Amino acid sequence: MARLDPHSFCDDAQPQITTLDWHVTVDFERQVLRGTAALTFAAAGGGPLDLDTRDLRIHAVSTLGGAPVAYVLHAADPVLGARLSLMMPEGTVGVRITYETSPEASALQWLTPRQTQGGVHPFLFSQCQAIHARSVVPLQDTPRVRIRYTAELFVPAALKALMAAAFVSREVRGELAIERWEMPQSIPPYLFAFAVGDLVSRELGPRSRVWAEPGIVEAAAWEFEQADHMLSAAEALFGPYPWDRFDVLNMPPSFPYGGMENPRLTFLTPTLLAGDRSLVNVLAHELAHSWTGNLVSNANAEHFWLNEGFTVYAERRIQEVLEGAEIGALHEALGRRSLDEALADFADRPALTHLRTDLTGVDPDEAYSQVPYEKGFLFLKTLERHLGRPAFDAFLKRYIETFGFQSITTDQFVSFTRGALPGALEAIDADAWIDGPGIPPNAPAADSARLAALTSQGDTPPDTAQAAAWTPAEWQLWLQHLAEAPERVDCAALDARFALTRSTNYEVLVAWLELGVLAGYAPAVDRAAEVVGQVGRMKYLRPLYRALTRTEAGRARAVECFERFAAGYHPIARQVVGGIVRPK
């Protein structure tokens, strides 16, 4: 018996779940899901079965045949949640668990109508990565175990339920609608996902449509128009798309991430709706996960770089096809800046800057940073440089083919690469990348004419022609450069010329507000205090609250904002911001 995932009670000597049949009522009044989860095993078994749960109320457990099953719900571990131990009779092919979730379920956010765009209907969504699926369904919550599922959701008839799965049917029965969904491809549990709200769709192409609240569906359709085209570009790079559809869901503003690669239905923050399609690299990123992450998955959170490092690499390859190498280089430079910041943040925890991490006793949400993303990207780019692109591309395709629909460790990556590319890992000193801190000296630097122009620009503001030609990425890089010495910047003059406080591009806006807050520019402080009440994306909350807490004028403001807005934040965002505003 062995526990192979530090974040799961799953025991590989016990029966393995292969299918979930989920039937739940979505109760917006009590903010709970209640119903049954029927779990079927790969082979009939008996004896103990340990499942992961978090804040679940278990009402009953039986075999699929209806015989009662004895169980114990253990005391909760702060990181893992509570182990649910079943004792099954011999020959059990599956179990049925009757249960309900808690209003505090860590994977769920229940939104009041006021927290939605339309303001009339409530909204519910899930966010299961890394280890929150267990707060929605009792199961073996480790990516080592892949499952297929069917689902039946009872929702208010005015609302639409969506799942990261294939639609089967919708039936209205009085005040309720029954939505039936089915996931034919096997997934790690962290990709289990659904949303319920006032949602409508627009077609984007033969394999994709966009879902959003009615008031913003046109804007979302315009912004993500390239989805289907991107899908074809990605297939040319990484091989056939195995998930049938690539639909996207525009989320409410409190969605804590930029995007989440839920298979067949990517979730995207509404902050991407800049009106200029300049933020679609996030769409490319989530699409890229279809191969790197969803098809080849990390075996557990210690190998998260296999998901995110490969995906950032793949995202930039898609971007290069769509927008060219110059734009790609700007994004690489932005990535490098965010990596340097992450490394500085982890100065006292250098082990978290390795690609492979030891997360025993560590919450994956706490270890989350740009390191697996951008250091992972740089590592793969180093390998690409060493091999040359054609050889690297062939390697990448073979890697995806070899490990498709599997969940793998860094060791598996290493031994596969040793076999496929003898000597390559040694040549680039892969050990230093994988098990060492920081950035190894052979890391490649982004390089392009536009980047060089930006570097020689220094602190000088762009002239009118330059300002008109700059992409949002160039603005961001320039503003981030200025923020290194905010006291030297005349924010009022810049704002008068470029109206930055009114920018509708969140990437540019947040870079500007960070600078403005640090420089003590009052309109930026006011706007920052407003923005943290309008969006819940942690990528923006984190730097804004940080900048506020770092200044005399902003500190009290940050506390005030947090007290006012915390209730509307996603549970994970609330925790992250709480740590900034009220450090232990």
Active-site residues: which are they?
286, 373
**What string marks each residue from 307 to 326 as x (binds ligand BES by CB under 6 A) or -?**
-x------------------
Which residue lies nearer to ligand BES by CB, 123 or 257?
Answer: 257
Our CA angle for 102, 197, 96, nearest 5°, is 45
565 binds, among ligand BES, Zn ion, none (CB under 5 to 8 A by kind): none
258 binds, among Zn ion, ligand BES, none (CB under 5 to 8 A by kind): ligand BES
Residue with tokens 């289990």: 192
Give the shortest CB-75-to-Zn ion separation in angstroms: 33
259 binds, among Zn ion, ligand BES, none (CB under 5 to 8 A by kind): ligand BES
**What string marks each residue from 527 to 556 as x (binds ligand BES by CB under 6 A) or -?**
------------x-----------------
Q: Within positions 99 to 128, which residues make up the interface with Zn ion, using CB under 5 A?
A: none
Which residue lies nearer to Zn ion by CB, 27 or 308?
Answer: 308
State both tokens at 578. 């709480």
- Any contact of residue 251 with ligand BES (CB under 6 A)? no
- Any contact of residue 259 with ligand BES (CB under 6 A)? yes
Region binding ligand BES by CB under 6 A among candidate stretches 253-261, 412-420, 494-502, 513-521: 253-261
Give the shortest CB-192-to-ligand BES separation in angstroms: 13
Q: From 122, 251, 200, 325, select the one nearest 536 (Cα to Cα).
A: 251
Give the shortest CB-467-to-ligand BES separation in angstroms: 26
Write out 93-158 in H/E/C secondary structure: EEEEEEEECCCCCCCEEEECHHHCCCCCCCEEEECCCCCCHHHCCCECCCCCCCEEEEEEEEEECC
Which residue lies nearer to ligand BES by CB, 145 or 541?
Answer: 541
Which residue lies nearer to ligand BES by CB, 334 or 434?
Answer: 334
What is the spatial distance between Cα 73 and Cα 281, in angstroms, rounded to a whole number?
Answer: 43
Our CA angle for 276, 234, 294, nearest 5°, is 105
Which residue lies nearer to ligand BES by CB, 131 or 489?
Answer: 131
Q: Within positions 309 to 328, which residues make up the interface with Zn ion, using CB under 5 A?
A: 311
Which residue lies nearer to Zn ion by CB, 305 or 562?
Answer: 305
Give the shortest CB-288-to-Zn ion separation in angstroms: 8
Among 198, 261, 374, 514, binds ligand BES (CB under 6 A): 261
Among 33, 147, 282, 334, binds ligand BES (CB under 6 A): 282
Give the shortest CB-551-to-ligand BES separation in angstroms: 25
Which residue lies nearer to ligand BES by CB, 36 or 409?
Answer: 409
Sequence-distant (≥ 6) Cβ neighbours of residue 38 within 8 angstroms: 20, 21, 22, 64, 94, 95, 96, 97
* Axis crossing angle, helix 227-238 with helix 281-288, rounded to the nearest 10: 50
What is the spatial distance between Cα 544 and Cα 526, in angstroms, rounded to a whole number?
Answer: 11
What is the spatial distance between Cα 341 and Cα 336, in angstroms, rounded to a whole number?
Answer: 9
State both tokens at 416. 């596969």
**What string marks each residue from 256 to 295 as x (binds Zn ion by CB under 5 A) or -?**
----------------------------------------
> With contacts defined by CB under 5 A, how many residues of the chain interact with Zn ion?
2
Helices (H), 430-505: 430-435, 449-457, 464-469, 472-482, 491-498
27 binds, among Zn ion, ligand BES, none (CB under 5 to 8 A by kind): none
- How many Cβ atoms sit within 10 Å of the Cβ of residue 523? 15
211 binds, among Zn ion, ligand BES, none (CB under 5 to 8 A by kind): none
539 binds, among Zn ion, ligand BES, none (CB under 5 to 8 A by kind): ligand BES
Among 143, 188, 197, 258, binds ligand BES (CB under 6 A): 258
372 binds, among ligand BES, Zn ion, none (CB under 5 to 8 A by kind): none
What is the spatial distance between Cα 406 and Cα 425, in angstroms, rounded to a whole number?
Answer: 23
Pairing, β 17-27 against β 147-156? parallel
What is the spatial distance between Cα 219 and Cα 275, in angstroms, rounded to a whole number?
Answer: 7
Q: Which residue is nearest to ligand BES (CB)?
A: 258
DSSP 14: S
Ordered DSSP codes for 318-377 = HHHHHH-HHHHHHHHHHHHHHHHHHHHHTTT-GGGGSSS---TT--HHHH-SSIIIIIHH
Region binding Zn ion by CB under 5 A among candidate stretches 64-72, 304-312, 361-369, 503-511: 304-312
**What string marks each residue from 112 to 131 as x (binds ligand BES by CB under 6 A) or -?**
-----------------xx-
> With contacts defined by CB under 6 A, how many residues of the chain interact with ligand BES?
16
Give the shortest CB-373-to-Zn ion separation in angstroms: 7
State both tokens at 550. 């770092």
State both tokens at 5. 């995932």
Residue with tokens 């369904």: 137
Give the shortest CB-549-to-ligand BES separation in angstroms: 22
What is the spatial distance between Cα 157 and Cα 148, in angstroms, rounded to a whole number?
Answer: 27
DSSP 421: S
Region binding ligand BES by CB under 6 A among candidate stretches 251-259, 404-412, 413-421, 434-442: 251-259
152 binds, among ligand BES, Zn ion, none (CB under 5 to 8 A by kind): none
Which residue lies nearer to Zn ion by CB, 84 or 295?
Answer: 295
- Any contact of residue 335 with ligand BES (CB under 6 A)? no
State both tokens at 301. 């959170």
Q: What are phi and psi of 183, to 5 degrees?
A: -110, 105
- Any contact of residue 179 with ligand BES (CB under 6 A)? no
Which residue lies nearer to Zn ion by CB, 217 or 287?
Answer: 287
Residue with tokens 């232990």: 584
**What string marks each residue from 285 to 304 as x (binds ligand BES by CB under 6 A) or -?**
xx--x---------------
Question: Are the CB atoms for 503 and 467 separated by under 8 Å?
Answer: no
CA atoms within 13 A on the CB side of 128: 25
Interface positions with Zn ion (CB under 5 A): 308, 311
Interface positions with ligand BES (CB under 6 A): 129-130, 257-261, 281-282, 285-286, 289, 308, 368, 373, 539
